[in-house]
Amino acid sequence: MTLHQRPPKLDVRQAGQAAQHVVGQDVLSNYERLMEETQGLGAHNTLHWTVRGDLQSDAKGQPQVWLSLKINTVLPLTCQRCLGPVDVPVQIERAFRFVETEAQAELEDDTSAEDVLVLSRDFDLAALIEDEVLMDLPVVPRHDTCPSPVKLSAVDADFEEPSPKPNPFAVLAGLKVVDKR
């Protein structure tokens, strides 16, 4: 097991053949797109990650390279209900199968349950980690229970409530039809 601060570039084939286990932690400030999502908050929050390479046989008995990725962090986002800060825990476990070419990856990715990526000698692990965290973010971040009461209506201080309109049928009640037969 190798301990890293910043995710290294990986030779994916070698990582799979050697059953390489790489562990590390990084800070959110090293991930530009995550900093945009958090509006610059939580720059010093720790992002823990683990990658394990592996060879697994396919249906034909041919060895295929796999990487298992685990990520844990907490992202400070804005609650869409109360508009206050909310810490969103992110825990990801994914497995990726690697193939020789981009064309093969495109062909197999649609029919495979797992994600299919292309083998590389300098695979950008940091970019994969950032992509996975971004895809795991909630569409609408919010507290389970907001810390302060949520204001569901807004009224200007100088707003006057309109006077109620009279019922147009109320006038008819005062009219009586007299039968003169």
156-166 per-residue burial string, b: 16 or more CB within 10 A, e: under 16:
eeeeeeeeeee
Q: Tens of pLDDT along 66-110? A: 999 999 999 999 998 888 899 999 999 999 999 888 888 888 877
Structure tokens belonging to residue 41: 């908050």
Q: Nearest CA to 73 among 26, 7, 36?
A: 26
- The three-state secondary structure class of 117 is strand
* 10-14, 54-58, 127-131: least confidently modelled range: 54-58
- Considering 57-71, 124-138, 155-169, the range whose residues carry the highest mean pLDDT is 124-138
Question: Measuring CA to CA, which residue among 64, 52, 49, 51 is closest to residue 97?
Answer: 64
Higher-confidence residue of 146 and 70: namely 70
Q: Please state, in angstroms and rounded to a whole number, the distance separating the CA atoms of residues 4 and 109.
A: 30
What is the extent of the structural domain holding 38? 2-136
Share of the chain above pLDDT 70, in %: 90
Give the model's confidence band at 177: pLDDT under 50 very low, under 70 low, under 90 confident, else very high.
Answer: low
Identify whether 147 is part of a domain. no
Residues in the chain, total: 181
Q: Is residue 178 part of a domain?
A: no
Residue 46: how many CB atoms within 10 A of its CB?
12
Beta bridge partners of 23: 3, 50
Mean pLDDT of 37-44: 92
Number of independent structural domains in the chain: 1
Q: Is residue 165 part of a domain?
A: no
- What is the rounded distance in angstroms from the CA atom of residue 125 to the CA atom of residue 2? 14
4 versus 48: which is more confidently predicted?
Answer: 48
- Model's pTM, two decimal places? 0.76
**102 in a structural domain:** yes
pLDDT band at 140 (very low <50, low <70, confident <90, very high): very high
Express as a percent the part of the chain with pLDDT over 90.
Answer: 54
Residue 181, domain member (yes or no): no
**157 located within any domain:** no
Does 160 fall in a domain?
no
Does residue 131 lie in a domain region? yes
Q: Amino acid letter at 104?
A: Q
